[in-house]
A and B are shown apart, each in its own frame.
Chain A
Amino acid sequence: MNNCKTMPEAKRLETLDYSILQQCMHCGMCLPTCPTYDETGLERNSPRGRISLMRAIADGQLELTPAFGEEMYYCLGCLACTTACPAGVDYADLFENARADIEDAQILDTKERRFWRWLAVKTIFMRPRLLRAIGRVMWLYQSSGLQALLRRIGAFRLLPRNLRELEPMAPRIQRSFSDGLIAREEVPAEPPRFRVGMLTGCVQDLAFSDVNRDTVDVLLANGCSVVTPRCQACCGSLHGHNGETALAEELARRAIDQFDLDEVDAIISNAGGCGSHLKHYGRLLKNDPDYAAKAAIWDSKLKDIHEWLDEIGLAPPPALPEPMTVTYHDSCHLCHGQGVSRQPRDLLKAVPNLTLKPLAESSWCCGSAGVYNITQPEQAGKLQKRKVANILQTAAPNVATANPGCHLQLQTGLRIEGSDTIVHHPVSILARAYRNR
């Protein structure tokens, strides 16, 4: 450590409250739940191993090396280890700090990587109008027949391999976004029991604005009046998970500013990945004197839709137009990140003519994991295959999941296997039942 000056600094890991690192007592109870350890059997690819590397950095025994950087991007951030850990290690906090150090130190920097991060993380997902304009162009491309034509003539062979493989993954963009489907304020037929704010998300809004509509319908059917701010921005989870802490903070402030927190009983998220980030604005903004208090209130009011419906007591849904058999895949950030796994199942089981089939390894990551299927296509593909095989094993013609990333990952995976199993958001199934009054 003589030439310290040239060494990249791990500011966050080195100054992080050491007790968070010490919390890991290296018992190994998390090992069998970690998908990357399951794949390689190597300790460095395990939660216990990654934490030991972070601790070595904090202790000054290891520098921020590219190998460490790659390790932290091989990690799915699925948080299965957090569910498994009896010691209560806050892996999400460690993971985000580690990635932020890696980005600050630019140890993984390449021209190509810089360009993509600039384009996606720093530009498109910072600007809600730009994002929707791109969405509009993509919709035109997909529905004009141009996509089908290009596919037919094999034009995608010209693309680099990882982009070529992604093209069929690109979400099918909706004709209308949430603002076109949901009024700024909607009230239920009977006098409202609650007043809630609705988060429409960004990818959710482009690809699944219908799910947002369904969410509002289900809330209305459960006596909630719903406030939906216009043209919402990304919640910042993409930025937080990818080491762009300052941008994540900026987006958190913007999200909070959209609502009068005293006016709502809850703020509703219907995307597992967003929800698990949204619930921690308090931690993100704890050093911001203007926002720390507001963020803490925000955290206490932020509810996943399933959690909220379970809390207020679901209005018994009527039967669906026809009986339905469904299996349920846990989005990692809903079950591991937010501890919500019983509620969606209970909600589905409340539908009279719905049969819920258990899914083996239901809380094992599907490989979507934010942008993991772009950054680590090989490992993502393996997880996708494993997930799809488990779904097909149930023989259920429908699978429900509550996160747009998982939704797309399952959809593509099922299509690759030639299956016509349909993917739904649980709330969409509920909404159909309520509409069948």
Chain B
Amino acid sequence: MKPETIERLRSLLAPARVLTSKEDLIPYGFDGTAVLQQLPACVVFPVDTQEVSAVVELANADDVPIVTRGSGTGLSGGSVPISDCIVLCLLRMNRILEVDTDNLTLLAETGTITKSIEDGALAEGLFYPPDPSSLKVSTIGGNVANNSGGLRGLKYGVTRDYVMGMEVVLPDGEIAWLGNKCVKDVAGYSLKDLFVGSEGTLGIITKVLLKLVPLPPARRTLLATYSTLEAGAETVSSIIAEKIIPCTLEFLDQTTLRCVEEFAKIGLPTEATSLLLMETDGHSAVVAEEAAKMEAIARRHGAIEVRVARDGLEAAELATARRSAFSALARVRPTTILEDVTVPRSRLAEMVRFVEDAAARHKVKVANFGHMGDGNLHPTFLTNEKDPEEMHRVELAMDEIFDFTIELGGTITGEHGVGLAKKKHLPAQFRDASYPLLKRIKGALDPKNLFNPGKIFDLQAASVSNEQLQNDA
């Protein structure tokens, strides 16, 4: 990057909000994804939309790519820098601007931490349901840009279902407002929906208007353990077939639950082969009835034990333990590579079995957990990036899992996004005119390919630097 560009960034923002030293940049060279790593040219911290827009204009004039970043907890390499780029970090834009209790909406800057959004709603007796396991760390902007899910997806849906509007800075620096507080709105294309899940490739989302719902008055949490992997999956299918939609149906296999127990020490039964965490919420009579039904179904499918959380405290403890699953798995081997395949729920048991078989075939260690109620699994490879031969076998097993997922009518990523980590597999899923369509949309909005280039797919201009990146990693 030209020194003048840095100088102009410094005069545009306060000098302290433009980082360039090696010690400052190294910690921004990665996100939550294994293996990927690249230093940016600088990291900047705008404090309002005008500053974001000014930085974008400058970058556009100097042809410098921008990688937008929230908290860097992404799991597909979305906020991993590309070489010689500006990392634009939104963490200084972290205010909740309005909670509208008449229209049940919340307006916030996108650097706000997800947990603060949840708390901000709670303070008014309202509820913001999407709760990615990273909610204490991730930003709402990252959630919107990745269309993140969470433990409550089954009943409440994902981030997209709560986005009513947003302010976005476009690649030329123009500012646009998309959406509004209306429950219904069919004026023009649903542009806000284009930006949900766009992974920082189309625009920088600076504010977001979120839908809130009334806080459910009661909830009950249950924990069922099994001696086979399939029994848990079958319980999930039966619950849904009996027309119960609980808010949470989470699954952990034995490796995962042992790691979680080692960290959380809350007395999970480590001898069980699989574990199901279930939660129902709503009116207390309904909650009681659904909880009883779910318990009966779990027992019918051979649960060794069904435990009902004593109170809110124990329920929260169980949810927190579940949220640590991915990180806790890092206890086993040096490198933890997590996948995010999702299949129609009726095919879950097959998918679970296939993952086991693929791992055995290639002699790699895999743990499995996930949002079973959503058909969303996180097969996690426990390996060592310093062992190329083992990494190769991991790659082979992963490829097979992706192919089988697509065969079942599933998707290669349910909630983490494509980023860098999964872009190789995207064409297999987008086999018709849909793949070029992605690129046409990108080309129309960002003709210079400056916003997060090389993420999701490669366009000509950025492909070099990204192959470079993958080789470096």
Residues of chain A at the chain B interface (Cβ within 8 Å): 18-19, 22-29, 31-32, 41-44, 46, 48-50, 52-53, 56, 61-62, 65, 67-68, 71, 85-88
**A27: chain B residues within 8 A (beta carbon):** 32, 73, 134, 326-327, 330
**B45: chain A residues within 8 A (beta carbon):** 41
Contact (Cβ within 8 A) B134 A28: yes
Asked, given contacts A41-B92, A44-B23, A67-B23, whether A23 binds B31 with beta carbons under 8 Å apart, the answer is no
Contact (Cβ within 8 A) B263 A26: no
CA gap between A297 and B113 in the complex, in Å: 46
Answer whether residue B381 sits at the interface, using C-beta atoms and an 8 A cutoff. Answer: no
Asked, given contacts A26-B32, A86-B328, A88-B262, whether A32 binds B27 with beta carbons under 8 Å apart, the answer is no
Closest to A71 in B: B23
Closest to B31 in A: A26
Closest to B320 in A: A86
CB distance from B38 to the nearest CB of A (A): 12
Contact (Cβ within 8 A) B73 A49: no
CA gap between A300 and B28 in the complex, in Å: 40
Tell me the chain B residues, 296-338 only, with Cβ under 8 Å from chain A.
Answer: 324-328, 330-331, 334-336
Interface size class of B (residues with CB under 8 A): 35 or more
**B328: chain A residues within 8 A (beta carbon):** 86-88
Starting from the known contacts A32-B115, A67-B21, A86-B324, 11 additional A-B residue pairs (CB-CB under 8 Å) come to: A22-B385, A23-B330, A25-B327, A27-B32, A29-B324, A32-B113, A43-B27, A49-B27, A53-B23, A56-B26, A87-B330
Contact (Cβ within 8 A) A26 B30: yes
Contact (Cβ within 8 A) A29 B24: no
Contact (Cβ within 8 A) A62 B330: no
A-facing mask of B261-287, CB < 8 A → 1, else 0? 011100000000000000000000000
Residue of B23, B73, B92 contacting most chain A CB atoms (<10 Å): B23
Answer whether residue B137 sits at the interface, using C-beta atoms and an 8 A cutoff. Answer: yes
**B406: chain A residues within 8 A (beta carbon):** none
CA gap between A44 and B331 in the complex, in Å: 24
Closest to A339 in B: B265
**B361: chain A residues within 8 A (beta carbon):** none
CB < 8 Å: which of B34, B259, B327 contacts A85? B327
Answer whether residue B41 sits at the interface, using C-beta atoms and an 8 A cutoff. Answer: no
Asked, given contacts A28-B72, A44-B27, A49-B27, whether A22 binds B327 with beta carbons under 8 Å apart, the answer is no
Contact (Cβ within 8 A) A86 B23: no
Closest to B262 in A: A88
**B120: chain A residues within 8 A (beta carbon):** none
CA gap between A93 and B137 in the complex, in Å: 25
A-facing mask of B22-50, CB < 8 A → 1, else 0? 11101111111010000000000100000
Contact (Cβ within 8 A) A87 B331: yes
Contact (Cβ within 8 A) B137 A19: no
CB distance from B429 to the nearest CB of A (A): 26
CB distance from A1 to the nearest CB of B (A): 13
Answer whether residue B351 sits at the interface, using C-beta atoms and an 8 A cutoff. Answer: no
Closest to B263 in A: A86
The 4 A-B residue pairs whose C-beta atoms are closest, nearest first, are A49-B27, A43-B27, A87-B330, A86-B327
Contact (Cβ within 8 A) A25 B73: no
CB < 8 Å: which of B72, B336, B384, B386 contacts A43? B72
CA gap between A116 and B221 in the complex, in Å: 57
Asked, given contacts A31-B137, A88-B262, whether A62 binds B31 with beta carbons under 8 Å apart, the answer is no
Closest to B335 in A: A22
**A86: chain B residues within 8 A (beta carbon):** 259-260, 263-264, 324-328, 330
**B113: chain A residues within 8 A (beta carbon):** 32
Contact (Cβ within 8 A) B27 A48: yes
Answer whether residue B136 sits at the interface, using C-beta atoms and an 8 A cutoff. Answer: yes
Contact (Cβ within 8 A) A25 B26: no
CB < 8 Å: which of A31, A41, A46, A68 contacts B23? A68
CA gap between A304 and B214 in the complex, in Å: 47
Asked, given contacts A23-B334, A62-B23, A88-B262, whether A32 binds B136 with beta carbons under 8 Å apart, the answer is yes
Asked, given contacts A28-B72, A32-B137, whether A87 binds B23 with beta carbons under 8 Å apart, the answer is no
CA gap between A42 and B72 in the complex, in Å: 12
Answer whether residue B206 sits at the interface, using C-beta atoms and an 8 A cutoff. Answer: no
CB < 8 Å: which of B28, B91, B327 contacts A29? B327
CB distance from A383 to the nearest CB of B (A): 20
Answer whether residue B71 sits at the interface, using C-beta atoms and an 8 A cutoff. Answer: yes
Residues of chain B at the chain A interface (Cβ within 8 Å): 19, 21-24, 26-32, 34, 45, 71-73, 91-92, 113, 115, 134, 136-137, 259-260, 262-264, 324-328, 330-331, 334-336, 384-386
**A49: chain B residues within 8 A (beta carbon):** 26-27
Contact (Cβ within 8 A) B330 A52: no
Contact (Cβ within 8 A) A29 B134: yes
Asked, given contacts A31-B137, A52-B29, whether A25 binds B23 with beta carbons under 8 Å apart, the answer is no
Contact (Cβ within 8 A) A25 B27: no
8 contacts between A and B (CB under 8 A): A18-B386, A26-B30, A26-B72, A27-B73, A42-B19, A52-B29, A86-B264, A88-B262
**A62: chain B residues within 8 A (beta carbon):** 22-23, 26
CA gap between A61 and B472 in the complex, in Å: 13
Closest to A89 in B: B330
CA gap between A71 and B327 in the complex, in Å: 25
**A19: chain B residues within 8 A (beta carbon):** 334
CB distance from A291 to the nearest CB of B (A): 29
Contact (Cβ within 8 A) A41 B262: no
CA gap between A86 and B45 in the complex, in Å: 29
CB distance from B378 to the nearest CB of A (A): 13
CA gap between A31 and B134 in the complex, in Å: 11
CB < 8 Å: which of B19, B28, B334 contacts A22? B334
**A26: chain B residues within 8 A (beta carbon):** 30-32, 72
Closest to B72 in A: A28
**A85: chain B residues within 8 A (beta carbon):** 327
**B335: chain A residues within 8 A (beta carbon):** 22, 25
**A87: chain B residues within 8 A (beta carbon):** 327-328, 330-331
**B73: chain A residues within 8 A (beta carbon):** 27-28
Closest to B75 in A: A27
CA gap between A324 and B328 in the complex, in Å: 41
**B263: chain A residues within 8 A (beta carbon):** 86, 88
**B28: chain A residues within 8 A (beta carbon):** 43
CA gap between A41 and B34 in the complex, in Å: 23
**B386: chain A residues within 8 A (beta carbon):** 18
**B30: chain A residues within 8 A (beta carbon):** 26, 52
CA gap between A87 and B73 in the complex, in Å: 15
Closest to A56 in B: B26
Asked, given contacts A43-B28, A87-B327, whether A65 binds B23 with beta carbons under 8 Å apart, the answer is yes
CB distance from B416 to the nearest CB of A (A): 13
Asked, given contacts A19-B334, A87-B327, A87-B328, whether A28 binds B71 with beta carbons under 8 Å apart, the answer is yes
CA gap between A42 and B327 in the complex, in Å: 22
**A32: chain B residues within 8 A (beta carbon):** 113, 115, 136-137
Closest to B71 in A: A28
Contact (Cβ within 8 A) A25 B137: no
CA gap between A319 and B437 in the complex, in Å: 77
CB distance from B50 to the nearest CB of A (A): 20
CB distance from B260 to the nearest CB of A (A): 8
CB distance from B91 to the nearest CB of A (A): 5
CB distance from B314 to the nearest CB of A (A): 15
Residue of A44, A65, A67, A68 contacting most chain B CB atoms (<10 Å): A44
CA gap between A359 and B32 in the complex, in Å: 33
CA gap between A282 and B336 in the complex, in Å: 29
CA gap between A86 and B257 in the complex, in Å: 12
CA gap between A31 and B31 in the complex, in Å: 13
CB < 8 Å: which of A23, A31, A46, A61 contacts B26? A61
**B29: chain A residues within 8 A (beta carbon):** 52
CB distance from A84 to the nearest CB of B (A): 9
Contact (Cβ within 8 A) A52 B26: yes
CA gap between A49 and B26 in the complex, in Å: 8
Closest to A57 in B: B26
**A29: chain B residues within 8 A (beta carbon):** 134, 136-137, 324, 327
**B336: chain A residues within 8 A (beta carbon):** 25
CA gap between A65 and B137 in the complex, in Å: 29
Contact (Cβ within 8 A) B331 A28: no
